[in-house]
Amino acid sequence: MRQPKSILITGASSGIGEALALEYAAPGVHLALSGRDGARLEAVSEQCRNKGAEVLAAVLDVTDRTAMRAWIAQVDSAHALDLVIANAGISGGAGTAGGENEDQARAIFDVNFTGVLNTIWPAIDAMRLRKRGQIAITSSIAGMTPLPGAPAYSTSKVAVKAYAEALHGALKPEGIIVTAICPGFVESRITEQNNFPMPFFLGAPKAARIIRLSLTKRRVSIIFPWPLAAAAWLMGLLPPCWRVWILSRAPKKT
């Protein structure tokens, strides 16, 4: 597979998105980066430029469908997109004593699922005309089974994982590869708020290297680290009543 030269990444101002931007940054590479924090996004963009990449950065909210479509069209017209990574995501209220509220749940789904739709569909429309391209959607190992401690977050990740895998089958005949990225605990602004044990914790640069290598293999899904993935898979095989009973007793945020 040819190495991508025009790459768009949402949620690029921190965490996995930032690490992926730096991983792909190189001479001859065109990066389109978006995020909600202008200062952090500019800092990431400058680091990528220092590595030789051409960078177009935009402060955008992925829930703004009109703005996302206009920006992606602008990027694609300048440099036809090879790879789009729908990475922006949020959590909130997960595992806390009071649990998440309705507003948090709706906000999480708006970003984690609707934001993905707003990112990938303008790109898919353009890639279909060329009959080539790759879409990657960041889910989570939490997307392998719904978690009582994080109902909206885990369920939104279940949804985007399933959607990515279904789209892979639907779009592959048209030359478009869609991949679900399902990492475990990775260094990010989300995990830095966790005050419970995070087994097999990975630094963001290492996670980005794993993702980049795996994307070149055009896989349906990328799930890592494998011990945590195996545990999540086994948990998913349990009857729902057992699984909920066990997971309801997992450590919670204070």
Residues tagged active-site: 153
Residues forming beta bridges with residue 178, ordered by sequence position: 135
The C-alpha atoms of residue 238 and residue 234 are separated, in whole angstroms, by 7
Place of tokens 């898919």: 124
Closest C-alpha among 176, 167, 8, 2 to residue 81: 8
Residue type, 236: G
The C-alpha atoms of residue 85 and residue 155 are separated, in whole angstroms, by 20
Residues forming beta bridges with residue 35, ordered by sequence position: 59
DSSP state of 75: H
- Judge contact between 120 and 86, C-beta under 8 A: yes
Q: Is 155 helix (H, G, I), strand (E, B) or coil?
A: helix
Instruction: Report cis status (omega within 30 of 0) of the bond before 183.
Output: no
End-to-end CA distance of the chain: 46
